[in-house]
Amino acid sequence: MGTNKEWVERRAKAVSRGIGMGAAVMAAKAENSEIWDIEGNRYIDFGGGIAVVNTGHRHPMVMKRVYEQLEKVTHTCAMVMPYTPFIEVCE
């Protein structure tokens, strides 16, 4: 899998400089308010990504609903291809 340092170096060569990087470690898994990197180090997630602040990583209810939706359709941008669950979430 490699080390954080190796992946940061690979990223520097492959990813546009316009895309920032908040941490010089690579996330491997997350649970509730914690993230583990590829080297097994554990961190408290102070980044608060989309919805994580409210539910924590991998909240069982959220996971259940995500899996249900994955069985139907997923599209990153509901502005391009609308789908009914997007409207339901907004409601």
Q: What is the pLDDT of residue 46?
A: 79
Domain count, the chain: 2
Residues 13 and 33 in one domain: yes
Residues 3 and 32 in one domain: yes
Flag whether pLDDT at 21 surpasses 80: yes
Residues linked to residue 57 through DSSP beta bridges, in sequence order: 32
- Angstrom distances, CA of residue 28 to CA of 16, 19, 42, 43, 74: 22, 20, 10, 11, 23
Residues 38 and 73 in one domain: no
77: helix, strand or coil: coil
Q: What is the pLDDT of residue 9?
A: 92
What number is the average pLDDT over the span 13-24?
88
Closest CA to 27 of 55, 57, 70: 57
Residues 72 and 35 in one domain: no
- Rounded to two decimals, the pTM is 0.63
Residues 43 and 63 in one domain: no
Token pair for residue 67?
A: 């899996």
Residues 7 and 38 in one domain: yes
pLDDT digits (tens, 9 = 90+) for 33-90: 888 999 999 998 877 666 566 778 888 998 998 898 888 777 666 566 666 676 777 6
Domain that holds residue 89: 59-91
Q: What is the pLDDT of residue 34?
A: 87
